[in-house]
Amino acid sequence: MRDTHDNMTMLTDFYELTMINGYFESGVPESIAYFDLFFREIPDKGGFAIVAGLEQVVDYLQNLKFTENDIDFLRAKKIFKEDFLEYLKDFKFTCDMWAIPEGTPVFPGEPLITVKGPIVQAQFVETMLLLLINHQSLIATKANRIVRAAGGRGVMEFGTRRAHGASAAIYGARAAYIGGCVGTACTITDRDHGIESLGTMAHSWVQMFPSEYEAFRTYAEIYPDNCTLLVDTYDVLKSGIPNAIRVFREMQPKKMGIRIDSGDVTYLSKSARTMLNAAGIDDCSIVVSNSLDEYVIRDVISQGAQIDFFGVGERLITSKSDPVFGGVYKLAAIDVDGVCVPKMKISENVGKITIPGFKRVFRLYSKRNNRVVADVIALNHESLPDDEYFEIFDPAFTWKRKRLTDFYAKDLRVQVFDKGRCVYELPDVDSIRTYCKTQIDTLWEESLRFENPPIYYVDLSRELWLLRNRLIAEYSGAFE
């Protein structure tokens, strides 16, 4: 679904334009290149990340074009020749693209997206693909941590007013839903993506009336089917809860709730539940908000807090504890006379050495319990044996090997574009959310820890491992 009529083609780093102009001037604009989008570290040092944002990537690529205004702007820069500007008038995406579906748990080094096509196109799309995948994957990952901390209690995304701009609010709410949130405060996300918008009242509503009781009663009159009252404007236990109880008894709304937005939510929620139950209103939901994250939620639950729903805002929508996903987009291969020639980046920082070649990603599952065992990055032409001995290699060039038996393998990638034509049926966001939950259920429980989760194996096939080491030796030898 396209949410805006704005042309995003010029939302790019300027060096993408100078590079594709350079390719054009060098006479190689149609040379075929392969790029991988991957990330290097899991946010918050967690056990896994969740990939999200593919739907918006597809939308961007399908609408990629330079307008006359764009070209006039570039002409005014006075660094691009007219033949290049004429070339841009017919610019469109005609590449092949593969991706790991949204909602999949993913790990560092794995190609989340691979783009194959003319270098001018495959290079140019770098910025926007990173923007879309980095942001939504970050928020989906953070949201899932918070949802897991809630232990089955509903988590609502309340961060619209603290998001870093309009798109961050809209797509952040979408990503949070994929990660497991039950709804959002962001109304436009409901309109455009069908994610239920939720909300009650602000303190200003209560302050506008002569008394807290009158504010609550008026609200219950207007919303008799679903009435959640904000009880902490003055004093939760001395006035908020007693006034809420009075209104609930008088008005008898079909669905009742209270929200606490300040104070010690453990103590207040326990006391509120006792007071509500004593009044015979034991079906009233208790919602809490105010600077929550996975650690606060985990702690208040362990302390016996009586909470049914959490409203989580700034620490979710900004992933405040670790606000950068860190995805990168690197050249992996080029075609030379129809032959795929692997390329790799060498660095003194071992973590920045890339994995060469046109690749695919397999996930291996135990046949005994269908739990994940490891992921294997292999060259695209490779296949994995099923239920046979298989050996995988640590990509850090060490002696470590892992021998597997009694497993089955699944190729995580799907083809999304074939020569610029979308061949992937995008699932709706509810299906993505359900898929995400089922895939997380295949992980070992230890991987769900917030602190010090076990290292998940993302290793290389023997052929790819040998290729990578050979290229490192060749590149190193060139400088001796």
Domain stop point among 317, 339, 372 = 317
Domain stop point among 290, 317, 344 = 317
Are 130 and 194 in the same domain? no
Token couple for 106: 């993913």
Residue 164 lies in a domain: yes
Residue 9 lies in a domain: no
Are 346 and 257 in the same domain? no
* CB burial readout 6-30, b (16+ within 10 A) else e: eebbeebeeebbebbbebbeeeebe
* CA–CA distance, 112 with 260 (Å, rounded to integer): 40
Token couple for 349: 């920082």
Burial degree of 446 (CB within 10 A; 0-12, 13-18, 19+):
exposed
Are 434 and 345 in the same domain? yes
Residue 8 lies in a domain: no
Are 436 and 371 in the same domain? yes
Q: Residue 22 maps to which CATH number?
A: 3.20.140.10
Residue-level pLDDT at 4? 43
Show contacts of 80-88: CB within 8 Å, 24+ apart.
80/17, 80/21, 81/25, 83/24, 84/21, 84/24, 84/25, 87/24, 87/29
SS3 3: coil
* CA–CA distance, 118 with 64 (Å, rounded to integer): 15
Residue 349 lies in a domain: yes
Burial degree of 365 (CB within 10 A; 0-12, 13-18, 19+):
middle
Chain centre to alpha carbon of residue 149: 18
Domain stop point among 317, 339, 361 = 317
Residue-level pLDDT at 407? 87
Residue 451 lies in a domain: yes
How many structural domains compose the chain? 2
Please tell me what DSSP assigns to residue 397.
Answer: S
Q: Which of 335, 331, 334 is nearest to 344 (CA)?
A: 331
Mean pLDDT, 10 residues at a time, the chain of 480 residues: 66 98 95 98 97 98 97 97 97 98 98 98 98 98 98 98 97 98 98 95 98 98 98 98 98 98 97 98 97 97 98 98 97 96 91 95 94 94 72 60 80 98 98 98 96 92 92 75
Q: Tell me the C-alpha to C-alpha distance, in Å, between residue 283 and each of 56, 196, 252, 256, 278.
A: 40, 22, 12, 7, 12
Are 306 and 346 in the same domain? no
Residue 4 lies in a domain: no
Residue whose tokens read 């799907």: 414
Domain containing residue 257: 147-317
Q: How many CB atoms lie within 10 A of CB 160?
A: 22
Residue 465 lies in a domain: yes
Are 164 and 276 in the same domain? yes
Residue-level pLDDT at 2? 41
Residue 3 lies in a domain: no
For the chain, counts of helices (H) and of strands (E): 16, 21
